[in-house]
Amino acid sequence: MSDLPDLSTAETTFVTESSGSIGVLTVRGTLDFTTHEQATEFFDKAFAQFGPYLVVNLLELDFLDSRATGLLVTRWKRALDEGGWLGLVAVEHGAARALWITGLAFHIPVFPTIVDALAAAPSHDAE
């Protein structure tokens, strides 16, 4: 008999909503190699639905690994390449602190709240 406790993985939930013409995506739970395929599909569907103007809320994230950080970078670059904008909502502690440790928070726009991110998003309604 083992003295090790049972292990379970946290569920990851992806939620979308719109704020005007900007997609607001919230990721709850774990964003890592085990959810990479699901997260990639989620972001692809978000781009199809909302276009390249997105706010990604990471405030409810429990864990973020390097592969997931890479996914965020590629989606940010995709938004820029498509003439859009992508902002992250995160704080410097908790799961998203990797954004500051790696220096990504100094390149990708990061905001403390969804309201702040939406206020900073460029207008694209006239396009």
- Which class for 91: exposed (0-12), middle (13-18), buried (19 or more C-beta within 10 A)? middle
Contact 94, 105 (CB under 8 A): no
Number of domains in the chain: 1
Instruction: Tell me the sheet residues that pair with 55.
Output: 24, 87
Q: Mean pLDDT of all residues in the chain?
A: 88
* pLDDT tens readout for residues 81-115: 999 999 999 988 888 888 888 888 889 999 999 99
In a domain, 20, yes or no: yes
In a domain, 36, yes or no: yes
The larger pLDDT score, comparing residue 124 to residue 51, is at: 51
In a domain, 72, yes or no: yes
> Which has the closest alpha carbon to 29: 17, 49, 16, 15?
15
In a domain, 7, yes or no: no
pTM for this model (two decimals): 0.87
Contact 23, 49 (CB under 8 A): yes
User: Where residue 3 falls among pLDDT bands split at 50, 70, 90?
Assistant: low
In a domain, 6, yes or no: no
In a domain, 113, yes or no: yes
Domain of 109 in residue numbering reads as 15-117
In a domain, 111, yes or no: yes
- Which class for 93: exposed (0-12), middle (13-18), buried (19 or more C-beta within 10 A)? exposed
Two tokens, residue 78: 């995709």
CATH code, 93? 3.30.750.24
In a domain, 67, yes or no: yes
